[in-house]
Chain A
C-alpha cells in the first residue's frame, strides 16, 4: 500500500511525548507539520484544530483521540501519531484520559483522492476494539505502522 506509506511514515510517529494539555498537543502537531513541510503556518493550523474541537470533541474512547483539521495552511494530506507518557484530559466520549492521538490533516481544496479515503479508513479502524488494544500495546514505531497497514487492509 503505497498510499499509506506516504501518509504514514515513522517520521510522522512521535512516541512517549510528555505533554500536559490539549493545547500543547496542537502546538506539537503544528510545529511538526511545518518543519516537515506538511503545513505552512503553525498559527493557522492550531486555530483550525481548535475550531474543530469547539464544534464537538474529537476525543474517542479507551484513551484515543482523533483531532483533525481542514485548512488552507495544510499542503499535503497527512496523518500524525503522537503517544503520550501520561494521559491528558480531552473531554473524550468515555471521559477517560487520552494517551493515543491520531491527527488527520486535510488541505482546504482536497479533491476526492485515495489519500482522503485512507484517512477516513483510519478513523473507521479505531471502532474495532481489538485494533485499539493492539495499538495501545505496540512497543515501537515499526509495530504501530505494521498494525495500521494490516488493519486498514483487513477492514
Chain B
C-alpha cells in the first residue's frame, strides 16, 4: 500500500507567525505518523508552496488550519478537516490521525449552484485545453470593461456629430473631443490588458507584468488582438520557465525573486520574443482584416455569415472578439460598413433569448423570463454576454440557433449598406447610424427568426420530457 497523502492549507490574519507554526507542526506530525504531506501557507509573503490541481486530486485528505479564507472551495468532494490555526499548531498529530482513520467528513460546497457549475467546467473535459481556455477568458473578461466603457464614451462623442472630435472641423465640440480621447485610451489599453491578464492567470503577478509589456508591444506594433493573445501566453509561460530555472535558489531569496528577478528577466525575455513575433503577427492580423474586408464588396452574404457565426459562437469570447476587434480596426481606417454587421451580430443573441421568453413564456421558468427581460436592455446596448446563461444550458442546440440569427442580422445589414461609425453602444448610437431604420429591421428579423427557432426547440424538448414522464407513469 502506498503512503497516505495529505494536503493542508494554513493561514492567519497577520500571516507571520501562526501560519508557519501550524505548517511546521503539521509537517513534524506527518513525519512521525509516516504520511506524506504538502502544506500551503497563506502568509504575509503571499501563498507559498501552492497546492496544484494534481496535489488536490491525489490527496487522501485535506487539513485546513486557518483563521482566514484559504479558498476551501477547491477541496470540494475531499475529506476535509477545517479548524482554527491554533488547533493546527497544538493538535497537528490528532488532525492527521483523523484523516488516516477516515474520520474527516467529505467537504461540500456551501455556495450556490453557479460556482459548482463553474468548478465542474474546470474539471471536466481535456484539462490542458480547459486551462488554456480559462487563461484566455481571464484576459478577455478583464479586457471587456475597457471595451465597453471606452466604446460607449466614443459612441456618445459621435452624438455631437461624426467629426465633432476633430478641432479643424466646423462641427468641433470640446466635450466630444474629450469623450473621444478618454474612450480612445480605453481602447488603446484593450490589447495590453488582455495580454496582462492572460499572463496573470498563468503566472500571477509576475506574469501580469511581463504580459502587460508584451501586450503593449503587440498593440503599438500593430499585431492587434492576436498579438496580445500571443504576448499573454508567452509572458505567462516565460515566468513559469523562470520559476523552474530559479527553483534551485534558496528559500530566503524568495523575496528577491518576486521583486527583482521575475520582473527584470520576465520582461526582458518576453520582450525579446515579442520583438521577433510582432512582425509576423502583424502580417497575419492585416491579412485577416484584408480577407474579411474583401468580402464586403464582393459577397456580403458570405461576409455576413462569417461575421454572424463568429460573433454568436462564443458570445463575448475570443472568437467573437476577433470579429469585433477587426471591426474596430477597420473603423479606425474609416470603414463604417464592416462594423455595422458586427454590431448587428453582437446585438442579436441576447434579443433572441429575450423575444423567445416573451413569445414562448410557458417553456421558460420565472428566472429565465426575468433574465429575458434584462436581455432586451443588454442586447440593445451591444452586450452579447447576456445570452450566455441561456446558451450554457444547452449549447449544442442553442449556439447554432444564435449563429443563424446573428448571420441573418449581419447579412441583411450588409445588403442594406448600413454604416455604423461607433464601435459600441448598440441602439444608443442610432442617431449617427446611416440607414438606422434598415439596421434595426435587420436586427429584428434576425432576432425574431432566432426566437422562433429557440422557442420551438424548447417546446420540443418539453414535450419529449412529458412523453417520457407519461411512459414512466404508465409502466
User: Which A residues have a C-beta under 8 Å from some C-beta of B?
Assistant: 1, 3, 52, 55-58, 60-61, 66, 68-70, 93, 104, 106, 110-121, 123-128, 155
- Contact residue among A55, A114, A119, A126 (Cβ-Cβ distance under 8 Å from B16): A119
Contact pattern, B 21-46, Cβ under 8 Å of A = 1, otherwise 0:
10111001000000000000101111
Partner of A124, one of B13, B14, B21: B21
Partner of B20, one of A52, A55, A69, A121: A121
A114 cross-chain contacts in B, Cβ below 8 A: 252-256
Is B90 at the interface (CB under 8 A from chain A)? yes
Contact partner, B259, options A93, A106, A111, A120, Cβ 8 Å:
A111
CB < 8 Å neighbour of A112 from B19, B25, B28, B46:
B46
How far is the CB of B345 from the nearest CB of chain A, in Å?
46
B16 contact set on A, CB distance < 8 A: 68, 70, 104, 106, 116, 119-120, 123
With A112-B259, A116-B45, A123-B19 given, name 8 new contacts (CB 8 A).
A1-B252, A70-B44, A93-B86, A106-B44, A112-B254, A113-B255, A114-B256, A123-B18
Q: Are B252 and A117 in contact (CB under 8 A)?
A: yes
Q: Is the CB of B45 within 8 A of A68?
A: no
In the complex, residue of chain B having the shortest beta-carbon distance to the beta carbon of A57: B86
Give the distance to chain B from A73, nearest Cβ to Cβ, in Å. 15
- Flag if B90 contacts A93 (CB, 8 Å): yes
Q: Are A117 and B18 in contact (CB under 8 A)?
A: no
User: CB of B2 within 8 A of chain A?
Assistant: no
Q: Pick the 8 closest A-B CB pairs, nearest first.
A: A113-B255, A127-B24, A123-B17, A114-B255, A120-B20, A112-B45, A124-B20, A124-B24
A67 to B16, CA, bound (A): 11
The A/B interface has a contact count, at CB < 8 Å, of: 93
Across the interface, which residues of B come within 8 angstroms of A128, CB to CB?
24, 28
Provide the residues of chain A in CB contact with B24, threshold 8 Å. Answer: 123-125, 127-128, 155
- 8 A Cβ contacts from B56-72 to A: 67
- The answer for the CA separation of A104 and B18 in the assembled complex, in Å, is 12
**Which residues of A are found within 8 Å of B86, using beta-carbon distances?**
56-57, 93
Contact A70–B14 (Cβ < 8 Å) = yes
24 contacts between A and B (CB under 8 A): A55-B13, A55-B67, A56-B18, A68-B17, A93-B89, A104-B17, A112-B254, A113-B255, A113-B259, A114-B255, A116-B45, A117-B45, A117-B254, A117-B255, A118-B252, A120-B41, A120-B43, A120-B45, A123-B16, A123-B19, A123-B24, A124-B20, A127-B89, A155-B24
- B interface residues, tally (CB under 8 Å): 31
Main secondary structure of the interface of A (DSSP, over half): mixed
Q: Contact at B89–A110, with CB atoms within 8 Å?
A: no
Smallest CB–CB gap between B32 and chain A, Å? 12
Residues of A within 8 A of B251 (CB): 117
B374 within 8 A of A: no
Given contacts A121-B20, A127-B89, contact A110 B13 (CB under 8 A): no
Task: Indicate whether A112 sits within 8 Å of B89 (C-beta atoms), given known contacts A120-B20, A124-B24.
Answer: no
Decide if B17 touches A115 in the complex (CB within 8 Å). Answer: no
Q: Who on chain B is nearest to A112 by CB?
A: B45
Tell whether B460 is near chain A: CB-to-CB under 8 Å: no
Given A120-B20, A123-B18, A124-B21, are A110 and B44 neighbors across the interface (CB < 8 Å)? yes
Closest to B252 in A: A114
CB distance from A60 to the nearest CB of B (A): 8
Given contacts A113-B259, A117-B255, A124-B21, contact A52 B14 (CB under 8 A): yes
Q: In the bound complex, do residue B28 and residue A123 qualify as a contact, i.e. CB atoms below 8 Å apart?
A: no
CB distance from A33 to the nearest CB of B (A): 16
A128–B45 alpha-carbon span in the complex (Å): 22
Q: Which of B28, B255, B258 contacts A127 (CB 8 A)?
A: B28
> When the two chains form their complex, are residues B17 and A66 in contact, meaning their CB atoms are under 8 A apart?
yes
Q: Which residue of B lies closest to A125 (CB)?
A: B24
Residues of chain B within 8 A (CB-CB) of A1 are 252
Would you call B255 and A116 a contact (CB within 8 A)? yes
Q: Are B258 and A112 interface neighbours, CB within 8 A?
A: yes
A120, closest chain B residue (CB) = B20
Other-chain residue from B23, B44, B84, B256 in contact with A116 (beta carbon distance below 8 A)? B44
Q: Which of A93, A106, A126 contacts B14 (CB 8 A)?
A: A106
**How far, in angstroms, from A1 to B46 measured CA to CA in the complex?**
22
Contact A120 B252 (CB under 8 A): no
